[in-house]
């Protein structure tokens, strides 16, 4: 008799950002890498958005998105996978909030609340970034955070970073 293997998958939301080395292609490549993770399934992703940088203003605007992933990795294992993808795409960690080829942030993992020296869940900045909240609300309009906050309501009151949605054309290209 065949045995059915059932693996529990958690739902994780991952913020993607890039402002160096063809940011749109960096995001697209990261989405492919997320979809290729073992025991994980890319369930969807938001539109791409352009935003002003949070930190030093003498850098290019960012391209941002949020991906929804079903995974059997633990939060810290998933963080390791995300950092490996960043490294594969040339991420160098020099300046906080500085320019980067790719930034992958684990925003939410089910309704897990945790704080360690490596990871805080939900992500510490989730409530204050329209470039995270807008794509998150696009993926899950009625989403509530573990503390009961409603994403769409948080979006109405968070700082603005000149968010502009990119358009996806019939040739399968993102552009402003």
d(C-alpha 81, C-alpha 74), whole Å: 10
Task: Report the catalytic residues.
Answer: 91, 100, 103, 105
The pTM (predicted TM-score) of the whole model is: 0.90
Residues 6+ apart with CB under 8 A from 42: 31, 34, 35, 67, 68, 69
* Per-residue confidence (pLDDT) for residue 95, from 0 to 100: 60
Cα angle value 15/17/18 (rounded, 5°)? 165
* Per-residue confidence (pLDDT) for residue 101, from 0 to 100: 84
Give the homologous superfamily in CATH for domain 10-175.
Answer: 7,8-Dihydro-6-hydroxymethylpterin-pyrophosphokinase HPPK (3.30.70.560)
* Per-residue confidence (pLDDT) for residue 56, from 0 to 100: 74
Q: Is 158 left (phi over 0), alpha (psi -120 to 50) or beta?
A: beta
**Locus of tokens 């993102």:** 174
Q: Which residue, 84, 109, 78, is CA-closest to 13?
A: 109
* Per-residue confidence (pLDDT) for residue 123, from 0 to 100: 95
Q: What is the pLDDT of residues 131-147, one digit of tens each?
A: 999 999 999 988 999 99
Which segments in the chain show pLDDT lower than 50? 1-5
* Per-residue confidence (pLDDT) for residue 14, from 0 to 100: 98
* Per-residue confidence (pLDDT) for residue 130, from 0 to 100: 92
């Amino acid at each position: 008799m065949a045995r059915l293997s059932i693996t529990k998958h958690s739902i994780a939301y991952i913020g993607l950002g890039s402002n160096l080395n063809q940011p749109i292609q960096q995001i697209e490549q990261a989405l492919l890498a997320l979809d290729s993770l073992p025991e994980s399934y890319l369930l969807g992703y938001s539109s791409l958005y352009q935003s002003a940088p949070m930190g030093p203003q003498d850098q290019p605007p960012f391209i941002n998105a949020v991906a929804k992933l079903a995974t059997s990795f633990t939060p810290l294992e998933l963080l390791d996978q995300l950092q490996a993808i960043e490294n594969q795409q040339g991420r160098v960690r020099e300046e906080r909030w500085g320019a980067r080829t790719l930034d992958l942030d684990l925003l939410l993992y089910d309704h897990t609340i945790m704080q360690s020296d490596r990871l805080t869940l939900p992500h510490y900045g989730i409530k204050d970034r329209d470039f995270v909240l807008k794509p998150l609300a696009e993926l899950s309009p009625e989403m509530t955070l573990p503390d009961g906050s409603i994403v769409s309501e948080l979006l109405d009151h968070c700082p603005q970073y000149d968010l502009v949605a990119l358009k996806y054309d019939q040739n399968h290209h993102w552009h402003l």
